[in-house]
Structure 1
Amino acid sequence: MANTGSRDDFEWVYTDQPHTSRRKEILAKYPEIKKLMGPDPNMKWVVTLMVLTQLLACYLVKGLPWKWVFFWAYAFGGCINHSLALAIHDISHNVPFGNNKAKWNRFFGMFANLPIGVPYATSFKKYHVDHHRFLAVEGLDVDVPSELEGHFFNTPLRKFLWVFLQPLLYVLRPLFINPKPISKMEVINVAVQMCYDLLIYSLWGFKPVVYMVAGTLLAMGLHPFSGHFIAEHYMYAKGYDTVSYYGPLNWFTFNVGYHMEHHDFPSIPGSRLPLVRKIAPEYYDHLPYHNSWILVLWDFVFKRELGPFSRVKRTHKGDKNL
């Protein structure tokens, strides 16, 4: 993919995001894509199996030495927890039960959240709506790093640290860039998660709780799966603020790599996104894409032209409270 040149600021653009117009154009040419929209009932069974697997894993690690607790947290539990976080991404789009049962989706998101160890699902939903509606817009899309991140994390060592700290930065960034009131559903999410963590602790002790939380933090940081955080919207090719990944890790991450397709059609479940590219190949095959999230991480850390500033950023047109 093409280099973007050394950066000391974002790539400021003054045009709307391209996904809305491309969606209209694709649907006009291929109206059958509308049939891909709607819920995926199989998702709730896949997620339930993953939650139960992690529950069993909590039981199995309770007597292990600490070094093995952390090993399995990174190598196994973290993979499942990261996958569950991406399931929560699909759940935020009402994939399991459809748009007519929004509350069912919100509570199912809390259920998928349980092995992650920290409350996440409801707050993610609140900000993810803005990410789609106001892609890369200053002060609204908290997926874009802050200027402080761009100026500080600008050497290989610091960028390595930035990758490691991604879970913490994703939690803190919204509080500074676009703080929002805490909702009732967020309070419920916290209460449900605390009860689950206390239940695990009362049954099997402290190690399973550490296994859950450590797996989440490790797998959201320096881990092959976490390459998607950077691959999705960082400019590895100049001017492209959304890029897809077509490698095998999509099999374990609800096809989150099909990110151009997802932003074009956010109402299509991840399980059906490959069909979008198959139906309308001329809209996707010519675009830059990634084949390896590990290579994405490597290039981000070691290529001078890449860093937190390697993002398109837009100025907001109109009222922030739209």
Structure 2
Amino acid sequence: MSACTPTKERERGKGGDIQIIPSRGKARVGAIERERKEGGMREARLGCISSRRACSKISASWPVVASGRVQLHSETYCAEIKMGQHVSRTDFEWSYTAEPHASRRKEILKKHPEIKELFGNDVGLVWWVFALVTFQLISLFLVRELSWFWVLILSYCIGGTINHSLMLAIHEISHNLAFGHSRPMANRILGIYANLPIILPFSVSFKGYHLEHHKYQGDEKLDTDIPTNLEARLFCTTFGKMVWMFFQPLFYALRPIITYPKNPTSLEIINTTVQLTFNFCLFYFLGGKCFTYLAAGSLLAMGIHPVAGHFISEHYMFKKGFETYSYYGPLNYLTFNVGYHNEHHDFPYIPGSRLPMVKKIAPEYYDTLPQHESWVKVIYDFITDPDIGPYARIKRKHAGLDKEE
């Protein structure tokens, strides 16, 4: 992405450092952005584009460098998206310290023991699952009479959004937050039921992989939420990242099977059998439009879709050194508060409906952390920003590897 200021002039400051001073006139050559980092300096060259070119105005922080110090001033600049531009990272961000949530959990509970009162299940989750599945099933009798054009439009706008909500209900259920830890089988059955409109059977297997994502966050083997090296190398341009986002549901579903396969359990076989039976009956009795409405909705709503922004916002490193980010905007109402992601990883056994209370009780731990204001902007920034891409994840060596080192 090349960028220009709405005209900037360069002046030499003391010590030969560059000061960037806004002025008026046509857009012309931008200055070299320099910022000091530990152990060295990094330079990013900002090109120039004509003011006559189509451009998008986006808010940015323009650095003013004086005597080795970087001060950030908000400016507006024009951005030209280059679809073939490569990402700047060539490897993941490797960490040799433990993930931050376990230690923060202990610290918060020591200071705010009343948070323990938020632990437990949320019966309301059960009723929401029944309501959302019922809505999807009833809507099929309307969808079968529509043209293919409207089937696809409604699949993206309505069916996909509801299916995504059901996916995040399954996320809650994987933590036994519907019926509690004393009734694990009831949680699994509810998850299989919530899985029906999604078409792809994943509810039972998701639980095992997801709990390891919590326990071993960033582990190069056990955390299958992290893209593979092959993904990061192949989808390393602006256009490539857009393609990767569109097909993200397939990568998300296939990655664990390829990189960390497990023997199927009896419950997984039941989940798959029930789902395939439902899919066959759906197609046989209600037709291809109804099947497409649900299947396409699941795929589209996990790709370039507003609610799918949480896949990127949760753990992709938008600020160096931070591996989990929260979002407190209105889309949390559709996603069981999955946006409260720092709070969720700190306290995975508190239902999503109560996570806002965690932030309210312990604001000193969350208000100062980097956070996202828009999932749509997260998707846009992920695709267009060369500093962000599949490599922008914090990884840790798998326990037991590289012992000789």
Provide TM-score, normalisation by structure 1.
0.96
Q: Which residue of 1 aligns with 2:313?
A: 231
| Residues 139-154 of structure 1: pairs in structure 2 closer than 5 A | 139-154=221-236
Give the one of 21, 27, 32 matched to 2:103: 21
Q: Which residue of 1 aligns with 2:328?
A: 246
In 2, the alpha carbon distance for the partners of 1:2 and 1:19 equals: 29
Q: Which residue of 2 aligns with 1:193?
A: 275
In 2, the alpha carbon distance for the partners of 1:317 and 1:281 equals: 33
Higher normalized contact order (CA 8 Å, seq sep 6+, divided by chain length): 1
Q: Which amino acid aligns with 1:89?
A: H
Q: Which residue of 2 aligns with 1:132?
A: 214
Q: Which residue of 2 aligns with 1:221?
A: 303
In 2, the alpha carbon distance for the partners of 1:176 and 1:243 equals: 27
SS of 2:261's partner is coil
Q: Which amino acid aligns with 1:275?
A: M
Deviations 1:286-314 (A, max 9, x none): 00000100000000000011000000001
Larger Rg belongs to: 2
Q: Which amino acid aligns with 2:167?
A: A
| Residues 34-45 of structure 1: pairs in structure 2 closer than 5 A | 34-45=116-127
Q: Which residue of 1 aligns with 2:362?
A: 280
* Residue ranges of structure 2 left out of the alignment (5+ in a row): 1-59, 63-86
Q: Which amino acid aligns with 1:8?
A: T
In 1, the alpha carbon distance for the partners of 2:286 and 2:320 equals: 51
SS of 1:149's partner is helix
Give the one of 27, 30, 48 matched to 2:112: 30
Deviations 1:2-35 (A, max 9, x none): 99x9311000011111100100010011111001
- Native 8 Å contact 1:2 1:238 kept in 2: no
Give the one of 180, 186, 206 matched to 2:262: 180
Q: Which residue of 1 aligns with 2:93?
A: 11
- Native 8 Å contact 1:2 1:236 kept in 2: no
Name the Cα RMSD after superposition.
Answer: 1.5
- Native 8 Å contact 1:2 1:237 kept in 2: no
In 1, the alpha carbon distance for the partners of 2:343 and 2:246 equals: 28
Q: Which amino acid aligns with 1:226?
A: A
Please identify runs of 4+ aligned residues in structure 1 that moved more than 6 A.
none
Q: Which residue of 1 aligns with 2:248?
A: 166
Higher helix share: 1
Deviations 1:133-157 (A, max 9, x none): 1101011100000011111111110
Q: Which residue of 1 aligns with 2:142?
A: 60
- Native 8 Å contact 1:244 1:259 kept in 2: yes
Residues 176, 197 of structure 1: alpha-carbon distance in 2 compared, 3 angstrom cutoff: closer
Higher strand share: 2
* Residue ranges of structure 1 left out of the alignment (5+ in a row): none
| Residues 71-86 of structure 1: pairs in structure 2 closer than 5 A | 71-86=153-168
Residues 201, 123 of structure 1: alpha-carbon distance in 2 compared, 3 angstrom cutoff: same
In 1, the alpha carbon distance for the partners of 2:357 and 2:141 equals: 39
Q: Which amino acid aligns with 2:170?
A: I
- Tell me the CA shift for residue 102 of structure 1: 0.3
Q: Which residue of 2 aligns with 1:109?
A: 191
- Tell me the CA shift for residue 260 of structure 1: 0.3
Deviations 1:55-88 (A, max 9, x none): 0111110111111111111010000000100010
Q: Which residue of 2 aligns with 1:100?
A: 182
- The alignment status of 1:123 with 2:205, answered yes or no, reads yes
Provide TM-score, normalisation by structure 2.
0.77
In 2, the alpha carbon distance for the partners of 1:157 and 1:317 equals: 35
In 1, the alpha carbon distance for the partners of 2:261 and 2:162 equals: 29
Q: Which residue of 1 aligns with 2:37?
A: none
SS of 2:121's partner is coil
| Residues 279-318 of structure 1: pairs in structure 2 closer than 5 A | 279-318=361-400
- Tell me the CA shift for residue 176 of structure 1: 2.2
- Tell me the CA shift for residue 172 of structure 1: 1.5
SS of 1:260's partner is helix
